[in-house]
Structure 1
Amino acid sequence: MHKYQKLNIQKLYQIYIYLTIRLLMNVMWIVLAIFLIILIFERVAERLGIDRWYKLSSIGWIFLSIYWLSSFIAYLDTDDFVNMLLTLLAAIFSFIIAFKIIIDNRKYPWKNITLWVTISILIIFPFYKIPILRDFLIDMVANHTLFILSSVFNASGEIITDATIILNGFPVSIVIGCTAIESMAFFAGLILCLNAPLKRKIIALVFIPVIYIANLFRNAFAIYAYGNQLFQFGIIGTAHESFFWAHNVIAKIYSFLVVVILAYLTFKIFPEFLTLIEDIISSFKKDVDK
């Protein structure tokens, strides 16, 4: 083999490795692409007589499971046990959905769930992948959090570099995860994917600003508790302990209660959502009874 050929093979191999890493790092792009292709070309597939076209979405769910599993592994190095558990459950659930799509001959409710996730990803991704949008959202949340901190908690914090709020010498950085964009996208995707009248969907979209405002209070509380060292129980033994209890425990419980309330209101506004949940449970129950 000539030296030139060896160099070409080596270069191709390097390109292959690079592309593979990029694909793994951006696995959500793969999920989004698969789901969009399935949903957009569904009617075309039906006209061509491809009855099982929607089953290809199972591939997207497998990739989604991989994404959540990688997120779970990343959380292993943190003290955020709630997100650790949630990402693990999401990985398991995504894999189960993929399996159900493969073995179940019904489109409903799996098509609706796929549409739900697709809409949510479409909302989230621009804020994660476009720096201008991400920075705009983070800066806006930081400023609004500071407003809540001063007006509600009567604390005089200030914003320093990179959307970091400092209170009594204790800094807290506002990152994309502090913006509640995932929760807002989650509920927006749910509302838009349901087979419900447009009027009810528009009314329900009021949940989005409610989530945003509720998140501002969550951020402000965590900063206030950390800045004033409210929860120094001596268990962790560092100044970070107050932040841990405020952010990773109390704020998580608060967020859970907000989600429960909004879920209840969603059930009240959209009986279709209850039907969707019942169909999912019924499908799993049939598998257990077999």
Structure 2
Amino acid sequence: MPALPATVAMTIGSIPLGDSLAWIAIGVFVAAMIVEWYGAVDPARYLAAAAWVVFGVFWLTMVPHYYLEIKSPIETLLTLAALPLCAYTGYLLVRGRESLLLLSKAVAFMGLIYLPAETIPFVRTWLIETTAAQTHFGMELLGHSPGINEGANGYQSRFAFDPDETVTGRTTYIVMSCTGIGSMAIFGGLIAAVKAPLKRKVVPFLTAIVVIWFLNLVRNVFIGLASPWGWFQQDALVYIATEFMGAPADRTSYIVAHNFISQALAIVALLGITYLVVRRLPEVLEPLEDVLYILTGSEYDLADALGQEMRADGGAATAATGTESGTGPDASSDAETDR
């Protein structure tokens, strides 16, 4: 939810450089997934390794956007770290860590969910303007009705607060990252990639989508009101925003609400949603364990860390009988059909 218009991005022909790299990376990820499906594991590893490197370069191109435009320390650090982490993932694949093909498949599905929404004009327009309308409705529930007009991105997504009546004279507008589609794509990709019956995937998928949608709406309302009404225009925060981040003083409330409070809480929310998903679909733990291995170099057993054994059907097994806690003796016989 920017408070300032974006700068012009680098392009290849008429296509933004970031979009080009993203499509190339996802295309190679998909190719690796298809090759693996046909049983050619070694070629799949090398294809996936190449895809990870291109994916890392894509994130590197996003650093100026997050640092100069969004002024987000968290996102800037993450994008800077992406290239070495992606390159290391490719290295592990080349060295023979076949389990990373599952994580690569998850990224392929994430891209197939996110990129069409990001690059197909009518889908992008619908997502942005629908999110803006829903955010405006949330503001109305709290007693604010500024109306919506055209934002700097050309969509009907700007909250039309009167600058003469607000504290900062600023307002915000909805962009693609405000729609929650990125987080939805992450969980959609993880759930689609793992092997499990379709009916067991439906509930965790819908749970993730609904929770992300609701929390994202709350986030947008919070930022959309904090920026014009100057909820965080305290002297200490203004000093940090102006002296250390080079931002105008009247943009402080936006930066604090968006870049610090909302992004920090988003990490907590994603961890909570992940827990809800793995309780129903523990297969998702496998690619998550590989993520931790990439980050730390150590192997993890996340099922053990959760404090109880998790069955492949999503239930919790007792140590004595192996049956689902609180169910009858025949519970295991319909394990694949009760969800």
Report the alpha carbon displacement of residue 83 of structure 1 after superposing the two structures with TM. 0.9
Aligned residue type for 2:298: K
1:52 to 22, 42, 46: 42
Greater length-normalized contact order (CA 8 Å, ≥ 6 residues apart): 2
Alignment of 1:43-192 (within 5 A): 43-44=37-38, 46=39, 50-55=40-45, 56-78=47-69, 79-104=71-96, 106-108=97-99, 110-151=100-141, 153-161=142-150, 162=155, 163-169=157-163, 170-192=170-192
Q: What SS is found at the alignment partner of 2:51?
A: helix
The answer for the alignment partner of 2:34 in structure 1 is 40
Distance 1:274 1:43 in 2: 21
TM-score by length of 2: 0.71
Q: Counterpart of 1:12?
A: none
**In 1: Cα distance, 2:135 partner to 2:266 partner:** 16
- Between the aligned partners of 1:174 and 1:165, the Cα distance in structure 2 is 9
1:285 to 259, 280, 298: 298
Check whether the contact 2:26–2:111 (CA below 8 A) recurs between aligned residues: yes
Residue 281 of structure 1 deviates from its aligned partner by 4.5
User: More helix per residue: 1 or 2?
Assistant: 1
What residue is the counterpart of 1:14 in the other structure? none
Q: CA RMSD in A?
A: 2.4
**Alignment match, 2:268:** 257
Q: Secondary structure, in 3 states, of the residue corresponding to 1:155? A: coil
Percent identity at matched positions?
Answer: 28
Counterpart Cα distance in 1 of 2:41 and 2:204: 34
Per the TM alignment, residue 254 of structure 1 is displaced from its structure 2 partner at its CA by 2.2
Hey, what does 2:233 align to over in structure 1? 232
- Contact preservation (8 Å) 1:158, 1:165: yes
In structure 2, what is the Cα distance between the partners aligned to 1:222 and 1:23?
29
The verdict on how the C-alpha distance between 1:96 and 1:18 changes in structure 2, with shifts beyond 3 A counting, is closer
Pair 54,223 (structure 1): closer, same or farther in 2 beyond 3 Å: same
Q: CA deviation at 1:225?
A: 0.9
**Aligned partner of residue 201 in structure 1, secondary structure:** helix
CA distance in 1, matches of 2:291, 2:66: 29
* Inter-partner Cα distance in structure 1 for 2:280 and 2:252: 40
Extract unaligned runs of 5+ from structure 1.
1-16
Displacement of 1:256 after TM fit?
1.6
Whether the aligned pair in 2 keeps the contact of 1:168 and 1:228 (CA below 8 Å) is no
| Aligned position for 1:6 | none
